[in-house]
Structure 1
């Protein structure tokens, strides 16, 4: 069993990578952070399809949270004001709004700052990957 949670994100997406870099420097979550392309997805209990669809937070016990809920868990792990924000994101109706905002951003990440056209493609269709 792992001792720390794991945040799994899309390392091929410029927007995702920029977001994770921000979180590492400013939020300082207490977790391991790994692109899904280098993660042992089977050991984490997640599929590549799910990892391509949304950011994932995997607890040491193996519980998987995705999307806005994963972001909330990341924030809560950092403590302080970040934890308060994460807790707020976990409560209805804020949780529902956070989910809608997360999906809108994730579905349009190629248009976000740092995003590229590759962000919009499924992993198997991205430049430099095998068909």
Structure 2
């Protein structure tokens, strides 16, 4: 990855803060068996067909294998240290993902609510505006 592709430390820090809230204890971090299962599930026929249908190519499972191997490399660490290392690695991944366009980037995030939403309509019997439920 070139230096212009590297995520900024601020973005990584934001992702780490979020992940620390989502994974507050070492028990919340996925274990190696879960990551190995994810790798195996990536290789099953149904996952491959789904990828072929959606994207026109077979699923690439090597990133899931790398996650499993990374997890195995942490086996000797204290659980809190393992959580910190895992969170940092995952934060870097999310930060890189945020920097590039994705199929999920079809809507702009709204910073304030729409005016007059939900739309109001007049109730003919009362003749006063009310909201639609």
Normalized per residue, the structure richer in strand is: 1
